[in-house]
A and B are shown apart, each in its own frame.
Chain A
């Protein structure tokens, strides 16, 4: 019985040594990164290019990865993205819906084939769903939602809803990482000249079947990457008032619309508009909010905005502690007035 803990202790020590020597080795040469990119209906998701921008901070070679049906067009578009050396594509409709059950083996095979030191994807619904599964298959502790890269093995990420900033060092290889889009702005989509290469396709069938989707349609800028965001909270009182007050203000500014959790839970706005720890993270030039008190979970999703403006009738609302400019007043009066004056 006594031998067992000793042996596992030794094993652990050996594993640690191996990991350390691997880490030193990877520091001695250049990083090679696989950036996993998103596409939908043959269109590249531009915000997923944040993983390429992050990869550029690591140095070394960067390969982009896309998979789906008729993927050649996306691959060619991707080849023009600045910073990419090679685009690896897998043409197979089975990957269109981003199901992790078949994407997992697909990525594992291509990661092993390419011998990458780093694998990066956006911290989006797709990346969040898929990368931890891949990390487990490779026996790697993933690093989620990084906001900065200090070196090849050292990364910065927010914890506790952004109330603390953690710097961690990883000895795992490859390093599996999701990237906060707003922290790494997507670079130029022209001027690059990557080569195209067909990736390996293990053709594992997904046990999960994709049934349907219901996406909120909007002509407005995408919330996650918009320059300006106007956001409404519980103070809007009803869906009718939300729809009457917020869209004209958004149109006057050319802004995306966001909402607090209270507004979403009360049914004023769609779930996909939620800003905060459990919703989207935004960091626009301007975040203008009305009727939002500023709970810590909400601040987590917007406090990296360049300029924060708040309209609230409660002069003591916590939002005023972070707002660059605050206006105490009734939003039902002030927001329409603001909308009118902005239009002029």
Chain B
């Protein structure tokens, strides 16, 4: 067991192309819409699979890729997608009632990481629903592991002992080198996720998917933050169109923008 044992957490979110609507009660958004895997998490799975596929070059062997999700039963769909993309097995912490906060997820992941003896965790840099961008960093903190967030390039050393990661920062990129075990979060430019083929989708149905509960990991789902309300953002009204460039300049002057 000297190879990479990768954990890839994935989240089921409202599809990125759907424009979310705030519900009438002002407590959240309408969830009776199309859902799919958080786009950043697709990148994580893809990266894990690519590390395995590249093993003939410099990458070390990948022992296994474990996909993980916590949330309602429907999250199983996206775990199957992860399996179809190339993960070997999946764990699903079923939680119907509460929308789990990043700190809770990070605690769960820390427990899974230890129990499943992982040495690399690849997460999306943020989920496109809550937009918090916290889980990976929190997990690294809880485990005391190094972190490389917003990764656009990941190179694992051939001995599997370290990783060189290029991260997207304000104004450009920076490159870091960390010893494994470590936590990486993915940015959009890391890779182009593959589409799962029909045979791989069929095969994914036979891969193991284990159901667990929060209690199995000794984590409590109590919320630290209380949602007081969810509201529509102030609507922006288009100001109409102008005929030509002169009209554009005149309007911008009138609006005090130039």
A-side residues, CB < 8 A to B, are 5, 8, 12, 15-16, 19, 97, 99-101, 104, 124-126, 128-137, 139-145, 154, 157-172, 206-216, 224, 228, 253, 261, 265, 270-272, 277-278, 280, 285-286, 296-297, 303, 306-309, 311, 315, 320-329, 334, 337-338, 341-342
Contacts and interface: CB of A to CB of B under 8 A. Distances in A.
Interface of B: 14, 16, 19-20, 22, 29, 101-103, 106, 125-126, 128-142, 146-150, 152, 164, 167-179, 187-189, 215, 220, 222, 224-233, 236, 238-242, 244-249, 251-252, 255-258
* Most A Cβ at <10 Å: residue of B138, B238, B257: B257
Given A211-B176, A325-B248, A278 B215 contact: no
A160, A307, A309, A327 — most chain B CB neighbours (10 Å)? A160
A160 B225 contact: no
A210 to B, nearest CB: 6
B176 A141 contact: no
A320 B238 contact: yes
Given A142-B102, A325-B252, A158 B258 contact: no
25 contacts: A12-B222, A101-B147, A129-B149, A132-B102, A132-B135, A135-B103, A135-B141, A158-B131, A159-B130, A159-B131, A161-B128, A161-B131, A164-B232, A165-B231, A166-B227, A207-B146, A213-B172, A214-B173, A270-B172, A272-B168, A277-B131, A297-B16, A307-B255, A315-B241, A324-B255
A154 B241 contact: no
Contacts of A134: 141
B173 A271 contact: yes
Q: Which of A5, A206, A309 has the most CB of B within 10 A?
A: A309
A134 B231 CA distance: 30
A104 B228 CA distance: 30
A329 B243 CA distance: 9
Most buried by A among B102, B135, B148, B245: B245
Contacts of A214: 172-174
Nearest to A215: B172
A325 B249 CA distance: 10
A338 to B, nearest CB: 5
Contact of B171 (A209, A215, A309, A329): A215
A285 B257 contact: yes
A132 B134 contact: yes
Given A128-B137, A133-B140, A144-B131, 5 more contacts: A133-B138, A159-B131, A270-B172, A323-B238, A324-B238
A19 to B, nearest CB: 8
Contact of B131 (A99, A160, A328): A160
**Closest A-B pairs by Cβ, 3 of them:** A136-B141, A132-B137, A141-B224
Contacts of B169: 125-126, 213
Contacts of A325: 239-242, 248, 251-252, 255
A168 B223 CA distance: 11
Contacts of A162: 233
Contacts of A286: 252, 257-258
B76 to A, nearest CB: 23
Interface residues of chain A: helix, strand, loop or mixed (majority): mixed
Contacts of A338: 245, 248-249
Contacts of B134: 132, 135, 142, 144
A270 B241 CA distance: 30
Given A165-B233, A215-B172, A104 B141 contact: yes
B175 A212 contact: yes
Contacts of A228: 257-258
B42 to A, nearest CB: 13
Contact of B241 (A100, A327, A342): A327
Given A325-B252, A341-B249, A272 B171 contact: yes
Contacts of A97: 174
Contacts of B252: 286, 307, 309, 325
Given A133-B140, A136-B106, A307-B257, A271 B176 contact: no
Contacts of A323: 238-239
Contacts of B22: 164
Contacts of B130: 159
A327 B177 contact: no
A170 B133 CA distance: 18
A296 B21 CA distance: 13
A168 B245 contact: no
Nearest to B218: A8
B131 A145 contact: yes
A286 B92 CA distance: 47
A341 B250 CA distance: 11
Given A12-B222, A272-B170, A328-B241, A160 B178 contact: no
A213 to B, nearest CB: 4
B242 A327 contact: yes
Nearest to A166: B230
A326 B171 contact: no
A206 B147 CA distance: 11
A141 B226 CA distance: 11
Contacts of B256: 285, 307
Given A158-B233, A164-B20, A271-B189, A171 B176 contact: no
Contacts of B232: 164-165
B230 A165 contact: yes
Contacts of B224: 19, 140-141, 170-172
A7 B177 CA distance: 44
